Amino acid sequence: MVMKLMVLIFVFGIIFSAATGYRWKKNPVTFSVQNYTSTLSSNQIRDGVTQAFNIWSRVIPLDFKECCGSNADILLSFKPLDGTLVGWTNYKWNGDGAFYHADTYFNNRNSWGLKDPRKTDIIAVAVHEIGHALGLTGHSGDSNSVMNSWIKWTDGNGNYRYPQLSSSDISNIQNLYGRR
């Protein structure tokens, strides 16, 4: 039941965001990591998440500030998620379409790493989930997009590949927020 409700919220997010450009209308947007997972230190997780926010903030005029504990705008945490999901994000908005809260979850059934090709990469998954938390709702068919449903952090040789926004990612997020 909880899962169905979350799916429903996500579907409404897709409809409204596509129609009206629902997004954050405040600056800076605050974030906080609420709990951790055993395979990384808390500093490594905060470092990976901060790098993921920076990847987006380089191309849009939106700043992200780590603060405020459980009162932050975007709360990130680890919990068990179903099936093959590595992450999950939902968000809430008010009558003006301004986002006022988002929750991002990382699946703590995975073994998480920081720039380790053999583990689930916190930066790559956080970039994808933060994209949702900023209002990019659906998944991209562009295989180079960080919003592709298949999140990649290795190259063809199995080496770690740092996440990079595709040209479609940049134009999609700038359609919501403008350019930095």
Q: Determine how β-strand 87-93 pairs with β-strand 99-107.
A: antiparallel
Active site residue 129: yes
* ∠ CA 67-71-74, rounded to 5°: 75
- Please pick, among 129, 137, 163, 169, the residue that the annotation labels catalytic: 129
**Residues comprising the binding site for Zn(2+)?**
128, 132, 139, 147
**Residues comprising the binding site?**
73, 82-83, 103, 128, 132, 139, 147
Counting beta carbons within 10 angstroms of the beta carbon of residue 75, is it exposed (0 to 12), middle (13 to 18) or buried (19 or more)?
buried
Nearest to 140 by CA among 171, 169, 105: 169
Can you tell me which residue has the tokens 């956080």? 126
**Residues comprising the binding site for Ca(2+)?**
73, 82-83, 103
Contacts of 24 (CB under 8 A, 6+ apart): 62, 73, 98, 99, 134, 135, 177
Spatial distance between the Cα atoms of 97 and 94, rounded to a whole number of angstroms? 5
CA distance to 39, 58, 124, 154, 163, per residue, from 116 (Å): 11, 24, 11, 9, 13
At residue 167, what are phi and psi to the nearest 5 degrees? -60, -35
Which residues are known to be catalytic? 129
